[in-house]
């Protein structure tokens, strides 16, 4: 998918909450000791949620971009404070924007990417001058589930605008590959998500990542060797390294 | 609370005050008439997001709805434009709050009306010291 005119990243911002939870503490509580796959994870403070973190990341991105012509504010998250009432309108109000498209995007891990793709289309078609795409979560793990080690809190925001000399990077192309796969869900009224463990790897992560990367490489007529860096979704330390090797990105860190 | 908060949400979300178009004096909360020159020509003006602590206190018995914040640090802050503001401090161990500390505004939940009610957002301030020790 390519926009009719070039779209660039004019600014970006990230927000990671101050507090940390060591994963050996999680292991101590549930397993009597040991260590998680990572040393620690970030946790939101008592007065933080995805709205507050989205605002912090977006303010940082907008300061970098120095852009006032913003026509869209999209928030992608799986942990909305309200089941009914958009997070994006609160964020837009806090940023001082009113004449904007505002919407929440829903997905387990891909919501922020969707926001970037939609704003790329809006900017590329000339419908808006610029837009803010925010990915944010206070991810939850069911008590005792392995997800508890890595489900953390943080936000990233990207300001997209027409590509110019000041752009940090240019968006050349993007693709999307979706199926209905019952890997990860949280029902209405439920506090924690559930997942089918044996679906998380092959049918979910690897199938979708490999399919979309192959689509993108075909569309752009490129191969893994043409890239210096490749970054994959990182739900745990093992999956991104393995998918990079499967796709032919030979050096993986 | 919801209606009054809604009317003043820009004040709480963006620290939106007033600036006198006649003498350039800045105020927070917003005013209809300049306290310095008496002019009624004031415009909305966003306050600086940084300042320093002039004084602080700890609420050991916070009001209903804020029990989880005990002890609640409240500070008198002088913003970088000289305007003074009273605000809750976030993310800071109470023994590391000192008069003169540099602070920056953060966007936080201010009040939550129970499990089914609305969430009210607004400004708080956090100490800028990157060496604040949170590991204890």
Q: pLDDT tens digits for B7-63?
A: 999 999 999 999 999 999 999 999 999 999 999 999 999 999 999 999 999 999 988
* Nearest Cα residue to A72 out of A101, A109, A37, A39: A101
For the question of whether the overall pTM of this predicted structure is more than 0.90, the answer is: yes
pLDDT band (50, 70, 90) for residue A196: confident
Closest CA to A149 of A20, A47, A15, A45: A20
Rounded Cα gap, residues A54 and A48, in angstroms = 10
Which among B14, B119, B126 is the nearest to A94, CB-wise? Answer: B14
Beta strand pairing call for A130-138 and A72-77: parallel
CB contact under 8 A, A94 and B13: yes
* A57 φ/ψ angles, rounded to the nearest 5 degrees: -65, -40
Which tokens sit at A72? Answer: 């869209």
B83-96 average pLDDT score: 93
Q: Which CATH superfamily is domain A8-170 in?
A: Thiolase/Chalcone synthase (3.40.47.10)
CB contact under 8 A, A49 and B119: yes
Structural domain includes residue B132: no
The reply to whether B76 and B118 lie within a common domain is yes
Q: Which of A48, A109, A114, A148 does the annotation list as catalytic? A: A109
Cβ-Cβ contacts under 8 Å for B63 (sequence gap 6 or more) = none
State how far the Cα of A194 lies from the Cα of A38, in Å rounded to an integer: 21
Do B63 and B89 share a structural domain?
yes
Q: Are residues B57 and B117 in the same domain?
A: yes
Rounded to 5 degrees, φ, ψ at A150 are -120, -15
Give residue B135's pLDDT band: very low, low, confident or very high (50, 70, 90): very low
| C-alpha dihedral (A20, A26, A29, A30), degrees to nearest 10 | 160
Q: Which residue has the tokens 């503490």?
A: A25
- Tokens standing for residue A73: 């504010």
Could you say which of B69, B110, B119 has the minimum Cβ distance to residue A81?
Answer: B119
Gap from B24 CA to chain A (nearest CA, Å) = 22
> Average pLDDT, stretch A2-11?
89
Residues B70 and B15 in one domain: no
The number of domains in chain B is: 2
As a residue count, chain A comes to 253
Q: Are residues B34 and B58 in the same domain?
A: no
| Contact of A133 with A158, CB cutoff 8 Å | yes
User: By the CB < 8 Å criterion, does B69 face chain A?
Assistant: yes
Please, which residues bridge with residue A22 across strands? A40
Would you say residue B55 lies in a domain? yes
- Asked whether residue A57 carries a pLDDT value surpassing 90, the answer given is yes
Do B39 and B57 belong to one domain?
A: no
Query: Which pLDDT score is estimated for B133?
Result: 52
Q: The tokens 């498209």 sit on which residue?
A: A101
More confident residue, A91 or A193: A91
**Pairwise CA distance, residues B92 & B72, whole Å:** 10
Domain boundaries, chain A: 8-170, 184-247
Of the candidates B109, B132, B135, which has its C-beta nearest A47's C-beta? B109
Residues B23 and B65 in one domain: no
- How far apart CA A181 and CA A192 sit, in angstroms, is 19
Give alpha helix (H) positions in chain A.
23-31, 50-65, 87-95, 111-124, 197-199, 207-220, 238-247
Is A109 an annotated catalytic residue?
yes
Confidence (pLDDT) at B136: 35
Please state which of the ranges A48-57, A183-192, B109-118 shows the lowest mean pLDDT: A183-192
**Domain hosting residue B23, numbered range:** 3-46
A208 catalytic, yes or no?
no
Q: With contacts defined as CB-CB under 8 Å, which chain A residues touch B8?
A: none
A90 contacts B124? CB cut-off 8 A: no
Is B134 part of any domain? no
Question: A126-180 pLDDT, tens per residue?
Answer: 999 999 999 999 988 888 888 888 899 999 999 999 987 789 999 999 999 999 9
Distances (CA, A) of A183 to A106, A175, A209, A213, B99: 15, 21, 14, 20, 52
**pLDDT of B134:** 47
Alpha-carbon distance values, B9 to A23, A95, B4, B15, B123 (Å): 39, 12, 9, 9, 10
Together in a domain, B58 and B94: yes
SS3 labels along chain B: CHHHHHHCHHHHHHCEEEEECCCCCEECCCCCCCCCCCCCCEEEEECCCEEEEEEEEEECCCCCCCHHHCCEEEEEEEECCCCEEEEEECCCCHHHCCCCCEEEEEEEEEEECCCCCCEEEEEEEEECCCCCCCCC
The burial class, CB within 10 Å (0-12 / 13-18 / 19+), for A221 is exposed
Cβ contact, residue pair A52, B108, below 8 Å: yes
Give the number of other CB atoms < 10 A from CB of residue A106.
12
Chain A residues contacting B via beta carbons under 8 Å: 18-20, 45-49, 51-52, 55-56, 59, 81-82, 90, 93-94, 96
Position A7 scores a pLDDT of: 94
Residue among B14, B69, B109 minimizing CB distance to A96: B14
Q: What residues of chain B lie within 8 A of the CB of A51, using their CB?
A: 119, 121
- Which of A25, A190, A218, A233 does the annotation list as catalytic? A233
Report the percentage of chain A scoring pLDDT > 70. 99
Residue A219 above 60 pLDDT?
Answer: yes
């Amino acid at each position: 998918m390519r926009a009719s005119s070039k779209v660039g990243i004019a600014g970006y911002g990230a927000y990671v909450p101050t507090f940390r939870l060591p994963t050996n503490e999680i292991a101590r509580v549930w397993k009597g000791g040991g260590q998680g796959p990572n040393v620690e994870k970030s946790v939101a403070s008592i007065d933080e949620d995805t709205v507050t973190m989205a605002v912090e990341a977006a303010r940082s991105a907008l300061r970098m971009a120095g852009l006032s012509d913003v026509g869209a504010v999209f928030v992608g998250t799986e942990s909305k404070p309200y089941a009914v009432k958009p997070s994006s309108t609160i964020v837009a109000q806090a940023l001082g924007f009113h004449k904007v498209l505002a919407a929440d995007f829903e997905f387990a891990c891909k919501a922020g990417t969707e926001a970037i793709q939609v704003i790329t289309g809006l900017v590329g078609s000339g419908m808006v001058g610029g837009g803010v795409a925010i990915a944010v979560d206070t991810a939850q793990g069911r008590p005792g589930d392995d997800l508890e080690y890595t489900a953390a809190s943080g936000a990233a925001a990207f300001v997209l605008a027409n590509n110019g000399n000041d752009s940090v990077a240019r968006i050349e192309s993007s693709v999307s590959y979706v199926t209905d796969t019952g890997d990860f869900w949280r029902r209405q009224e439920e506090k924690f998500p559930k997942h089918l463990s044996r679906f998380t790897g092959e049918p979910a992560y690897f199938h979708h990542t490999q399919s979309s990367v192959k689509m993108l490489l075909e569309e752009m007529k490129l191969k893994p060797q043409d890239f210096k860096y490749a970054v994959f979704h990182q739900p745990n330390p093992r999956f991104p390294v393995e998918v990079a090797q499967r796709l032919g990105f030979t050096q993986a860190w | 609370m919801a209606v009054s908060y809604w009317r003043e949400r820009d004040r709480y979300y963006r620290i939106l005050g007033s600036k006198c178009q006649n003498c350039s004096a800045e105020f927070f909360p917003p005013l209809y008439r300049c306290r310095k020159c008496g002019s009624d020509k004031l415009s909305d003006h966003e306050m600086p997001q940084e300042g320093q602590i002039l004084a602080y206190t700890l609420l050991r018995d916070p009001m209903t709805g804020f029990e989880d914040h005990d002890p609640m640090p409240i500070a008198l802050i002088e913003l970088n434009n000289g305007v003074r503001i009273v605000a809750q401090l976030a993310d800071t161990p109470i023994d590391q709050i000192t008069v003169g500390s540099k602070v920056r505004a953060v966007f936080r939940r201010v009040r939550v009306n129970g499990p089914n009610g609305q969430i009210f957002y607004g400004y708080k301030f956090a100490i800028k010291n990157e060496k604040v020790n949170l590991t204890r």
